[in-house]
Chains A and B, each alone.
Chain A
Amino acid sequence: MMTEEILAKYKPQKDNLIQILHEIQDAHHQQYLPEEELIKIAKYLNMSMSSIYGVTSYYTMFSTKPRGKYIIRLCESPICDMLGSDKIAIKLKEILKINFNETTSDGLFTLESSECLGLCGNKPSMMINQRTYTGLNEDIIELIINDLRNE
């Protein structure tokens, strides 16, 4: 969907900013907020670019850098941490050959971390885009990533 179409769905009120940012980011194939789109939002809501930037930089789900087709959010809450999410993190970095907050060169995966995803059990959890994965171990991670690569 075009930015103009998304904006037209909302009244030009500042309290709609976060909702608009979500929709525009989700609609972008690189799942991010390019500056030219932010300028359109600023005009529409009659806000300064610095106020918009204040919001995009505050919330961890917003990105002003291009991201991959799949955003991996590994839960690193104290619980998942205690249950071995550090091992999953190492494995993910090894398979994807990137660090956290980086994107693979083929543009497929971006690796991020998240605070508690509310999927607490006795194994670590993560999300990939809208899908949730729990009960993770190092072998499963490999299978999940391979599946997505072949999709």
Chain B
Amino acid sequence: MKKETRIALKNLGKINPENIDDYLFHGGYQAIAVALEMQPITIIEEIEKSGLRGRGGAGFPTGIKNRFTSNSCNDCERFVVCNADEGEPGTFKDRIIMENDPHLLLEGMLISAYGIGASKGYIYIRAEYYLSIDRLKKAIESAYKRGYLGKNIMGSQFSFDLEIKLGAGSYLCGEELTLIESLEGKRGYPRIKPPFPAEKGLFGKPTLINNVETLSHFPSIITNGAEWYSNMGTEKSKGTKIFTISGNVNNPGFFEVEMGISLHSLIYDFAEGIKDGKTFKGALLGGAAGTFVDNSMLDAAMDYDKLKERGASLGSGAIIVFDENQSIYDLLYSILRFFKHESCGKCVPCRIGTAQLLSLMDKLKNEENKLEIINEILFQSEMMAKTSLCPLGQSPILPVRSAIKYFEKEIISQSIIVNNF
């Protein structure tokens, strides 16, 4: 039952991440060698055929994004950017990849850059990830020394430079257009879409932004072919996904499995069930900008579209599990506090809205007309979803609506209990 299928984590524990020879010994940099023999457009077609979708949370088809960026202009300068600003609460998959197999990410970026014709790339990483940064720096240094980065890679016409850029503590900078602002050295304020990064991104040039996990699938897709990859997973969610499970479980951690696995299997086979013999009450799927589920959803298949049909989200693959003792009111409060803290303040609906939601949660505790206040919380979050500039203000509706759907009675009863802070 409990068997992982590892693609992004294929070298985990097998190689010394600080030694390029270890990576080479395990087939490293062979995919870029294969890729360099192919036409760039064939790379994009392979990625398209593989069915790979963005692992950062949105699940947008990666191949289409590659094609857009490639087609946006002829012979102009383009960039590839790796989004390593992992910060969605409960998510730590990218950290595991970067700490354990930094060259895999580099190779993924090389393939993606060759495919779209970019000669410069950036890894934008949150500054708190010291070990990841250290290992990526060492990896880049040794890749330059061995000719896997720089001019005429492996004797080809393809040249590529790669640089690490640090964030400085901002959740919002994980949003792609905000990330670009930060890469340009500015405050992390989101830009208005369109134009999308594929048309006008970093320094006004077409920019392809992919998540660490997404890029880490590129080498295996090129080596083994799109068909091999698309045989894994479900009809519309192909391949594997790293799920990071935390909370009241016996074995919290990260597990890379084929898409389509049931939530039940992840929680009971991989995370080994609920701690201290307690019972499963629910889970938060996809982090703070995710959705609550209860035990009626344990049979759900982890698939972007099937979860969406049932009102839930896969997001970044974070699964936060809680037992019968967890107060949903407290958890929702904590999530809304998080959004208030991370709101950048640029657009009014989010700046005022996130503060309003938190004060409505306080009001829920102090006043009698609880149903009315819950409706107000719902109304405000919907309004924010419709009018906010970027995904941050559009997100509170997800946990709010799902928490109310599954746990309304509890939220009300828990808001009566006196908080002994």
Contacts and interface: CB of A to CB of B under 8 A. Distances in A.
A145 B342 CA distance: 29
Contacts of A121: 246, 252-253
B92 interface: yes
Contact of B90 (A22, A77, A130): A77
A18 B89 contact: no
Contacts of B165: 18-19
Nearest to B122: A15
B92 A78 contact: no
A62 B128 contact: no
19 contacts: A14-B185, A18-B185, A55-B187, A58-B187, A77-B90, A78-B89, A78-B334, A82-B320, A82-B330, A115-B89, A115-B169, A115-B171, A117-B128, A118-B95, A119-B92, A120-B89, A120-B246, A121-B252, A122-B247
Contacts of A116: 87-91, 287
B122 to A, nearest CB: 10
Nearest to A51: B186
A17 B284 CA distance: 37
Nearest 6 interchain pairs by C-beta: A59-B168, A60-B169, A120-B246, A118-B92, A17-B185, A61-B169
Contacts of A18: 165-168, 182, 185
Contacts of A17: 185-186
A149 B53 CA distance: 49
Interface residues of B, number: 53
A129 to B, nearest CB: 9
Contact of B338 (A14, A115, A117): A115
Contacts of A82: 247, 320, 322, 326, 330-331, 334
A127 B129 CA distance: 10
Interface string B244-266: 10111100110000000000000
A37 to B, nearest CB: 16
Interface in A7-55: 13-19, 21-22, 54-55
A12 B188 CA distance: 21
Contacts of B244: 120
B342 A115 contact: yes
Given A14-B184, A115-B342, 9 more contacts: A13-B185, A18-B168, A19-B165, A77-B338, A82-B320, A82-B322, A115-B87, A120-B252, A122-B248
A73 interface: yes
A24 to B, nearest CB: 12
Contact of B185 (A15, A60, A86, A119): A15
Contacts of A117: 128
Contacts of B320: 78-79, 82, 120
B275 interface: yes
Interface in B249-305: 249, 252-253, 275, 284, 287-288
Interface string A52-76: 0011001111100000000001000
Interface of B: 86-92, 94-95, 127-131, 165-171, 182-188, 203, 244, 246-249, 252-253, 275, 284, 287-288, 318, 320, 322, 326, 330-331, 334-335, 338, 341-342, 344, 421
B95 A122 contact: no
A79 B185 contact: no
Contacts of A122: 246-249, 252, 275
B90 A59 contact: no
A3 B166 CA distance: 19
B184 A15 contact: yes
Contacts of B330: 81-82
A60 to B, nearest CB: 4
A68 to B, nearest CB: 17
B331 A58 contact: no
Contacts of B287: 116
Contacts of B86: 118
A45 B124 CA distance: 21
A114 B169 contact: yes
